[in-house]
Structure 1
Amino acid sequence: MASNFESSIQRGCDFIHDFSCSPCEENGFNTEAHHYCTQCKIYYCQNCVSKHNVLYQKHAVLGRKDVKKWEAAPGVVDGLERCGMHPGEALKLVCGDHDQLCCSVCVAIDHRQCSKIQHIPDVAKGVQRNIEFHQIPKKINELQKQFELMKEARLNNTTSLKKTRAAIADEIKTIRKKINEMLDKIEKTTLQDLDGMIAALEKNLKKDIETCEKWTIELQNMIAAFQTKAKSSESNSYIAYRKSQDMISQANDNLRGISTIECYNVTCKANNRIKELLSSIKTFGVIEEQTVMTKQREDHLSDPNLVFSVAEYKEYNVRMRNDKNRCAIQGVFETPSAEIVIADRDNCKVKLLDKAYRVLDHCGVPGEPWDVCHIDGNEVAVCVNSRQTDTRGLYFINASDGKLVTTRKLTSTHGCIAAAYHGGQLYISSGTALYVYTMSGQKVKRLYDDISGTFTVMKCAISNDGETIYITNYTGHELITLNNKGKKQASLTDPDMKSPIGVHVTSAGHVFVCCSSSGTVLQVDKDGKKKLATLARKEDGVCRPYSLFFSSRTSSLIVGGEKDTVLVIKLI
């Protein structure tokens, strides 16, 4: 029967109707409509219209001779049910080959050779029970709020640019007073450059603001339409669901495009030799555009041994009401969507934090979580170390939309203290050895071992190019640096490096280590041969640190330890 239906679609037969009977469609039948009720705004076949007329004798029912009035009637095919390619046609079918909503014209023109053509009523069955369907309003609301926040940021940026313009103009006037009348022409030229740049930046901001306003309105309209259709038929609900998904995707694309630049800024570098070179100078200084990008220092700073300094320390409480023990944050990671995943060992929990470090969600694990390893996107692997071999291993968790969802598990035959991911392979620390595994859990090799102590191979970090591996030796109070073959390249000890545990390397090659016994957070050179700086100590809020992660979004180190708070160190 399905093949007959598909062949009839491909032949373009009249089995695909211009208008289908709405009651029949609700019951899974495809019957051509011969009537349209202007009050009910519903199509009827010959059988259904007779029942309708008995119940509603005063309703105005249009026949086939008035089909043009059907198309003009309000509510016949609204924005959600209307085909985007053929606005006069209603969406009635789904092409499974292209995963696309279609009208009869779409099928006749573009999908004649497709084998998976289905009626929307068939596909839509149960859509209103779909979890994703019910999440659509929330997703739209969240996007709307993000656009509103982005608009507010752009408006604030516009104001700050005007203030910047005034400040730079004052600097120019201060310099101008020290020089003679020859500076009139220079002042004019410089202000023209400044105003031209500000105008260009304001134009960009205005464009972003207009985009935010446009999408805010469209999302408002969409959620209004969606909520209306969610109470309607399953077909309409399904169309609303699909259209909403498309709009969410488009809105996300636009939001990502806008969010690339956090804000614009302008500075003026004064020329100190202006008096000596007055005759050859055309402007007071170079007017420069500065854009604060969401990918900040980690992408921009090319020198991996550039020494950071600290701007401020802040602590954020991550303890939950039902936590039975004091928190012990063994692992930290920030997702691309700016949510933070932490592993709380002593409470056997994985917690998800928002940008303000507030707990959004959590999930329990059947053992102590000792580390968080980023896999790809919003997926992480949590190292669970347990004496029970059936619960020990890696638990893969997806962290998105404020929720944590465990997807799969890899059991480990040895201790599972920490892990790192690079080049499609997993590097797992057992406490005394570092192993390489495939993503399916097959052991490739033992890369490095040291059986001189209990925790000689604690945590590991891999450079962006995969050439260098850093390992903390907790027992030996040292940082070990290996090449990707497992050969030791360097060993670093320092009075501030007592019982090192956490190690992190940024995409630019900056290396950070936190040490439990000394209560310190250190920066180390990329070769692992010398300490560059001690960034934090106990008096700064460090308490037996176990883990750390550098957020390029905020240019901050997030440090977790044996404390109910995470310490955020702003670096400059």
Structure 2
Amino acid sequence: MASNFESSIQRGCDFIHDFVCSPCEEDDLNTEAQYFCNQCTKYYCVNCVLVHNKLFKRHSVLDRTDMTKWAAAPGMVDVLERCERHPGEALKLVCGDHDQLCCPVCVAMDHRHCSSIQHIPDVAKGIRKDPGFRQLPQQVAVLRKQIEDMKNDRKKNSSSLRKTRTAIVDEIKAIRKKINDILDKMEKTTVQELDRLVADQEMSIKKDMESCTQMHDELKNIIDDIQSKDSSGEPPLYIGFKKCEEKIKKGKEILQNMSSVVKYDLTFRKHNGIEDNLSSMKTFGELNESNVFGAQPCTSLFPRDHVFATEGYKEYNVKMSSDRCNCDIEGICGLPGGEVVITDGTNKKVKLLDQEYRVVDHCDVPKYPLDVCHIGGNEVAVCVNNNDDRCELHFINITKGKLVTTRKLSFTHRCYSAAYHGSNLYISSRTALYVYTMTGKLIEKLYEDKSMTRIAISNEGKIIYITNFSNNQLITLDNLGNKLATFTDPDLLKPRGVHVTAAGHVFVCCHNSHTVLQVDKDGKTKLATLAREQDGVYKPRALFFSSRSSSLVVGGMKDTLLVLNVR
């Protein structure tokens, strides 16, 4: 079939249209089509469609907002194989330089200078046996489930937000009864401010829900298209595979962006001495928004320069009846819903804990698990090592209270610690810090040191903290790998775990000194020694700050997690 693009070229027209008006084309005119009739299976421009609509009033006419439904036209390119930039053209080529599917128009306009243009039937050979293609339905199903869960969470959040508003208004009314008519203006001002904040947050929730709905449907449509083309040859499957990979990447980016805020909320704190200072005040009190960030809920209650102090502790047993050895907790991270994931090295297990730190599920790993980091949504990545160079990063999803390993990355170097930021993975091999893409492609070696143990990245991604076990140091880098500071202290003996909160508070636990420290954001000064061995700390290896409970969760060579209450 000669494409509309080719027909336009043959007519010598200066304009290239993806769809040409059928009546105009019969008159040897090149007019861009804006409508398509399902019954006539013809295209119409803005003028011709008026004539069509008068003659055929019951026909279904679709405009360009419904271009995906134009596929009913005879000879029309199948929706899966259609170029999204040039809908009248079929995807027939792939550019290796850009890893991008192309139609002939794409190649002519954007890839003329590329050196690796291949025919899709050539590169599509064996696509059914490709591990990535075979895992596609499962990846899409998991991602759709995460998107649906995110949408449901936002819906519940909207309801709770309205209840919070009602509670705050009730408090405002209670205060109002104690004072005189001068409060009328203050009440109006305060409620208006409250409603504005609620409206802003509800708008954010609405946008999140709409994004979830759109991505959920797009993923369903493309995987349905792929599965329906299973018997139609390899090229369509390859095209579907590449398109689906793009959708998955986009979906994960959307989830990652959304997961940075788990819950929108509002708080209200009344002014003290309202009656005495009424004339000088404009509102009833302070309204503060709080957005709970990812695995680390917002620490806005504690300013960035806040120095913490401990208020007691509790211990929670995490040993399972099936554990053959004493626990060795190497990694800890939190999930948006308040659950906690830990790695138990000696028992070769990854364990899921509920909000009460009870083990509710686990999965076995073939090698020794070390660090664990939160990726986004309910996904974590676990460093898995032997005493050789066969080291891996396991990606695990938490679905309905179950740990499910979805994929693995293998490395030629050790994998002691991992952190995630800006769609990239930061991996410590103990002698170097590497940056990888989520598909395992090496971006750069960022930093080298002889004894790197664990890493943590600030919420904005500008500062990287590294514990140096052998030299008793905390090293601070910028995101280009430049060393900013080297911190030492008598309480910093064999530091292992390091954690930075969303608000920028930095915590370190030290194996040999049995201590938990708070360090300033610049990594230069000790702000506090929060706990020692007499407080229950014993050979700590990992720690995590939970803003939900305002506590530090510490793990090490014990069967129990130590939870330090802080203020």
Q: Specify if TM > 0.5.
A: yes
Question: What is the 5 A alignment of 1:10-409?
Answer: 72-73=72-73, 77-294=77-294, 295-296=296-297, 301-303=303-305, 305-309=307-311, 314-317=316-319, 325-329=324-328, 331-334=330-333, 340=341, 342-345=343-346, 347=347, 349=348, 351-353=349-351, 358-364=361-367, 372=371, 392=387, 396-401=391-396, 402=405, 405=408, 407-408=410-411
| Matched residue SS, 1:186 | helix
CA displacement at 1:265 relative to structure 2? 1.3
For 1:398, give the aligned amino acid. Answer: L
Query: Shift of residue 153 of structure 1?
Result: 1.3
Root-mean-square deviation (Å): 4.9
CA distance in 2, matches of 1:85, 1:148: 29
| C-alpha distance in 1 between matches for 2:179 and 2:470 | 60
Provide closer, same or farther for how the CA distance between residues 314 and 144 of structure 1 changes in structure 2, counting only shifts above 3 A: farther
Offset at residue 89 of structure 1 (A): 1.5
Counterpart code for 1:247: K
Shift of 1:84: 0.7
Tell me which amino acid in the other structure corresponds to 2:263.
Answer: C
Could you tell me whether the CA contact under 8 Å between 1:190 and 1:285 is conserved in 2?
yes
Q: 1:400 to 1:265 in 2, by over 3 A?
A: same
Q: Which amino acid is the alignment partner of residue 259 of structure 1?
A: S
Instruction: Report the CA distance between 1:239 and its aligned residue.
Output: 1.0
Question: Cα 1:252–1:226, aligned 2, differ >3 Å: closer, same or farther?
Answer: same
CA contact (8 A) 1:513 1:521 kept: yes
Q: Do residues 504 (structure 1) and 497 (structure 2) align? A: yes
Q: Which residue of 1 aligns with 2:542?
A: 548
Q: Distance in 2 between matches of 1:254 and 1:483?
A: 32
Deviations 1:327-379 (A, max 9, x none): 4315225499999562523x4x3x344575632441236xxx7x6498x9987
In 1: Cα distance, 2:418 partner to 2:394 partner? 17
State the shift of 1:490 in Å.
Answer: 3.5
Distance verdict in 2 for CA 1:121–1:354, change over 3 Å: farther
Q: Is the 8 A contact 1:510 1:524 kept in 2?
A: yes
Checking the alignment, whether the CA contact within 8 Å between 1:316 and 1:567 is kept in structure 2 is no
- Residue of structure 1 equivalent to 2:530: 532
Instruction: After TM superposition, give the deviation of residue 308 of structure 1 in Å.
Output: 4.5
Aligned-partner Cα distance in 1 for 2:232–2:364: 33
Residue 566 of structure 1 deviates from its aligned partner by: 5.2
Task: Please give the alpha-carbon distance, in whole angstroms, between the structure 1 residues aligned to 2:418 and 2:344.
Answer: 15
Which of the pair has more CA radius of gyration?
Answer: 1
Query: Cα 1:203–1:246, aligned 2, differ >3 Å: closer, same or farther?
Result: same
Q: Answer yes or no: is the 8 Å Cα contact 2:518–2:530 preserved in 1.
A: yes
CA gap 1:467/1:134 in 2 versus in 1, 3 angstroms: closer
Gaps of 5+ in 1: 1-11, 19-69, 385-391, 429-435, 448-457, 474-479, 494-499
Quote the offset at 1:219 in angstroms: 1.9
Distance 2:345 2:366 in 1: 10
What is the alpha-carbon distance in structure 1 between the residues aligned to residue 275 and residue 255 of structure 2?
Answer: 48
CA distance in 1, matches of 2:170, 2:221: 46
Where does 1:428-507 land on structure 2 (aligned, <5 Å)? 489-492=488-491, 503-507=496-500
Shift of 1:263: 1.5
- CA distance in 2 between partners of 1:188 and 1:487 (Å): 53
Please state how far the C-alpha of 1:155 moved relative to its aligned partner.
1.1
Amino acid at match of 1:152: N
Kindly indicate whether the alpha-carbon contact (under 8 Å) linking 1:545 and 1:559 is maintained by their aligned counterparts in 2: no
Runs of 5+ unmatched residues, structure 2: 1-8, 11-17, 19-69, 397-404, 420-425, 435-443, 477-482
Whole-Å Cα distance in 2 between the matches of residues 463 and 182 of structure 1?
Answer: 50
Distance 1:75 1:251 in 2: 32
Deviates more, 1:299-308 or 1:115-124: 299-308
Residues 342 and 74 of structure 1, relative CA distance in 2, 3 Å threshold: farther
In 2, the alpha carbon distance for the partners of 1:523 and 1:137 equals: 46
What is the aligned residue count? 447
Distance in 1 separating the partners of 2:231 and 2:563:
46
